[in-house]
Amino acid sequence: MSDRIFGLFGVFLAIGFAVSALTIEESFLSDAVGPKAFPLIVATILGLSSAVIALRPDPEPAWPALGRLVEIVAAVVVMILYAELLPVAGFVTATAFAAGYLAWRLGSGPVEAALTGVGTSVGIYVIFHLVLGLSLARGPWGF
C-alpha cells in the first residue's frame, strides 16, 4: 500500500511540476529548445517512474527500525542545516562538516569521516572554484 501512495504522490508532483514549467515565459532571445524543455523532461520521467511504482508495487515493504528512522531524520536535518549555514560558514567549512557527518553515519570511523569531509570539500572547491572559476559561498575566512 505504501508504494501505491508514494507512486500517486509522485504522479501528482510531476503534474504540478509540468504545469509550473508550462508557465515559464519565453524570452525572444531563447534557444531553439527553450526554457521549458528540461523541466518538462524531468516531469515526464518523474511521472512515468511514479506511475510504474503505483501500478506495480513491491510486496509490502519492511520498514526500518525506529533507530534507523532516527538516523534518516538526522541526515535530513544535517542537509537542511547545510543549506542554511552555507552562506554563513562558507562552502568549504559547511561541506566538510556535512560530508564528514554523512560519511560517519555511512560507516566510516571518526578519523576517516573527518578526512573524507575535508577531502570532499577541498576537492570540490579546487575543481569548481579554482579550475572552473565558479562562484561558491565564501565563509568568514574568505574561501
- Tally helices (H) and strands (E) across the chain: 5, 0
Please, what is the average pLDDT of the chain? 90
CA-angle at 78, arms to 75 and 81, nearest 5°: 155
Lowest mean pLDDT among 11-15, 27-31, 47-51, 118-122: 27-31
**pTM of the predicted model as reported, rounded to 2 decimal places:** 0.62
pLDDT value of residue 1: 77
Tell which residue, 54, 122, 56, 63, has the closest CA to residue 94.
122
CB neighbours of 93 closer than 8 A, spacing ≥ 6?
121, 139, 141
Q: CA-CA distance, 73 to 47, in Å (whole number)?
A: 26
Q: Are 103 and 113 in contact (CB under 8 A)?
A: yes
**Which H or E run contains 4?**
helix 2-22
Residues 39-60: tens digit of each pLDDT = 999 999 999 999 999 999 888 7
Query: What percent of the chain is predicted at pLDDT more than 70?
Result: 96
Residues 100-127: tens digit of each pLDDT = 999 999 999 999 999 999 999 999 999 9
